Chain A
Amino acid sequence: MLNALWNDDAGGFHPASAPDFLPEKRLKEVQLRRLRAVVSRAYERVELFRTRLQERKLTPESIRSLEDIEQLPFMVKTDLRDTYPFGLFASPMSDIVRLHASSGTTGKPIVVAYTQADVEVWAEVMTRTFASCGLHRGDILQNAFGYGLFTGGLGAHYGAETLGATVIPISGGNTDRQIMVMRDFGVTALCCTPSYFTYLVERAAELDADLRDMPVKVGIFGAEPWSDAMRTRIEEAANIKAYDIYGLSEIIGPGVASECEAQNGLHVFEDHFYPEIIDPDSGQVLPDGEEGELVITTLSKKAMPVIRYRTRDITRIIPEPCTCGRSIRRIRRIGRRSDDMIILRGVNVYPSQVEAALLAVEGTLPHYQIILTREQGLDQMTVEVEVTPEVFSDEIRAMEQVRSRLAQAIERIIGIRVTLRLVEPRSIERSQGKAKRVIDRRGD
């Protein structure tokens, strides 16, 4: 049993998994030691952090216990933007071996830096991620996360190599070739965004290639929120186990947390990333089990320590121990972010709620899009859903029923009447990376 837990049953023993099983007391010792070191480093080398501590009359010596972290100021995304490009670096450029950047969809990108040690930590946490999703040496991983400035591709790449798996660095896009490679190379695991995988499944069907007949057995999905209903559909459509992983470029990239075989929450690699849940309004730390905004502190990063970063992701820490035996705590999978919240006539709506409603009704992976408009001062929400062969009928009445069932399912969940439009297949743009679910035209 221990072997299975340690991911050893295919001959690929990975000592990197060991910290996942540290006794709580030992883990807290490691966390405190590392927290003190990272706070000292940031205080000495990062002006923004030092100034903020001085304003609060704090020094690195103020941190005597893990609970003392609550005195430290939060960091937010604009801190990374305002100091662009190098303002938060705590290492000289001669020690920095890699730079990544966010997509910069809202103005300036943010830059993140890695020393050699940081890159090694990243590989370690991604190794633990893949190990907890059941991968071993001998697995063939098709890495369809984008390579480049985006952290997904290279983050997953080095982790899988460290694990001893075979990596196919195919990156995103070129879907027909993805399917050919998957089949010809006998790929056993694949990582990408869940929305891209739904497109892969759809495209494979068009090419008369069924993923269920291929050796691929594990999908590792991250970089965007997705619903449990989508997981079920993906698993059925491709006959795989679909695991959710979590990370963000501000912290390191993928490898902050990962599901395990239990598929019931994501284990945070908390020897490197210290999680807190706060009340997003008051900033107060909430006890384990309560829902709030996830805040993360990097405990081991050298090039760019990030302390108490407000992720905008809404989740809670699961206090119960996990059946897999890992002692590191779990967060509930993130279905929503405070910044993808749609406020519609004063009601909070998340795209993942709409997704779950659609999946509860019909039999295929839905391609959908939410369009927000304002008519005579009133917000309107239109959900466009592509018609699939499974729901299509030659009778108007049957199609009207499909339409009203979908609209009602959404209304039941979000409490607002929506316009549901059935649209032609492939009329909604397919994403190669993160899906764009919401088009807000209310300001037009």
Chain B
Amino acid sequence: MKLQQLSLFLENRPGRLDAPLEAIAAAGINILTLSLADTAQFGILRLIVRDWDKAKQVLEDGGWVVNLTEVVAVDVEDRPGGLAEVLKVLDQAGVNIEYMYAFSSYRPDKAILIFRFEDPDQAVKVLLDQGIRALDGDELIHADG
């Protein structure tokens, strides 16, 4: 129910984003989704890819500092209020969200939310109890065909 997200540290300077993306492109790795969090000084690039083991190796060989983090991918209805319903469930159960980002899939009526929870196991349980399903890695990985 959980999947691995790659994070890497980047300095907030022009051109810093290109190099790691080129490195994983050269290795034939496709990015399913990404998010970039930044401050004035530095940024953290978060990536979801199929072959995260290989991507991590490629990036580390290129000299980047890379982390693997467990995140939770949740299927939501791609309509007004879809996200709000999930958040309400989490909020009521007191689950703390560290950060989140979203992407839409090839399926016309579904979107996928990526959550980073303090306690991913507890969060998945809370969601399941309310009938909200977290995608497992395989499902997400094959979601775009």
Contacts and interface: CB of A to CB of B under 8 A. Distances in A.
A46 interface: no
A388 B46 contact: no
Given A388-B65, A427-B11, A422 B116 contact: no
A392 B41 contact: no
A421 B44 contact: no
B103 interface: no
A395 interface: yes
Contacts of B37: 396
Contacts of B129: none
A11 interface: no
Contacts of B38: 396
Interface stretch (B2-10, B23-31, B75-83, B135-143): B2-10
Contacts of B98: 395
Q: Chain B interface mostly helix, strand, loop or mixed?
A: strand
A395 B96 CA distance: 14
A394 interface: yes
A426 interface: yes
B73 to A, nearest CB: 16
Contact of B67 (A394, A400, A427): A394
Interface of B: 5, 7, 9-11, 16, 37-39, 41-42, 44, 46, 63-67, 69, 98-99, 116
Given A394-B46, A396-B37, 15 more contacts: A392-B67, A393-B7, A394-B5, A394-B44, A394-B116, A395-B98, A395-B116, A396-B39, A422-B41, A422-B42, A423-B11, A424-B9, A424-B11, A425-B63, A426-B63
Interface of A: 387-389, 392-396, 399-400, 403, 421-427
8 contacts: A387-B9, A392-B7, A394-B5, A396-B37, A399-B44, A403-B41, A421-B41, A422-B42
Q: Which 9 A-B pairs have the closest CB atoms?
A: A394-B7, A392-B65, A426-B63, A387-B9, A394-B69, A396-B37, A394-B67, A387-B65, A424-B11
